[in-house]
Amino acid sequence: MFDLFLDIFAFREPPWTRLDPRLKLLITLTAILCLLLSTRMVLPLAFLGLSLSGMVALRLPARLIFLRLIVPMNIVALLILMQAITFGKTELWTIAFWGGSWTFWKEGFLQGLLLGSRVLGAVSVLLLFSSMTPAHTIFSALRWFRVPPGWVEVALLMYRYTFALLDRAADVAAAQKVRLGYSGVERSLSSLGSLAGIVLIHSFDQAARTYEAMILRGYKGSIPFAPLPAIPKKEFAYTILTCGAMGGITFLLR
């Protein structure tokens, strides 16, 4: 779980990832918009392939890439299933199930594949962006784009204390295992419920302590951010060309 949220790989900073975080965010948002407007699977699959290639080039472990994609892949599988059994006119196959039958339709199946490719393409683009951009620079870029300060501060604190809560959960889970808390199905469910309750209570306690600490350090409703430097003109020009190229390809493939 720690590996899923860590941005340690973003600090390697190979030459081709040293683009200004505001420009990387703009390119990422443009790519997601193009994916939402795509009407064929070619573009989403192309973004998926390029993003996976980029993560491999960043030397991310294959296991970590798989873990970060496994939840979206489960969502995509469910999405394809729901679309395939919901609508359509051309029958693909019928499966008998619990005294009834499920009919899978070709049109719904193809629509599910398109939606699923969009989901995987967008998630892979976000994963590539987060893999080559440290978290604190993302928050600074969001402030520069005039995202409401409250949203940015909540996101910053959530990211910061995610690891504290994971650490607490790991300690409690280890203590439960030592006491054979996961020796059977019933005990495992009971231990899991206790673990969730303890982490929830700890999160409320941590929120109160964090607020008190911020007040003592002079917090007056806004966390100060250091100003970002001016965007290099050459990088800005490359970004505009890249966004324009993505928009043009999306229009041609519609």
Residues 172-208 have pLDDT tens digits of 888 988 888 888 888 899 999 999 999 899 899 988 9
What number is the average pLDDT over the span 73-98? 85
* Predicted confidence (pLDDT) at residue 15 exceeds the cutoff of 70: no
Judge contact between 83 and 111, C-beta under 8 A. Answer: yes
What number is the average pLDDT over the span 236-250? 91
What is the rounded distance in angstroms from the CA atom of residue 9 to the CA atom of residue 94?
Answer: 47
Using CB atoms within 10 Å of the CB of residue 115, give its burial: 0 to 12 exposed, 13 to 18 middle, 19+ buried.
Answer: middle
Q: What's the whole-model pTM score? A: 0.80
* pLDDT value at residue 11: 59
Model confidence at 6, in pLDDT bands (50, 70, 90)?
low
Token reading at 120 = 């995987």
Judge contact between 89 and 110, C-beta under 8 A. Answer: no
Going by C-alpha positions, the residue among 72, 34, 28, 73 that lies closest to residue 51 is 28
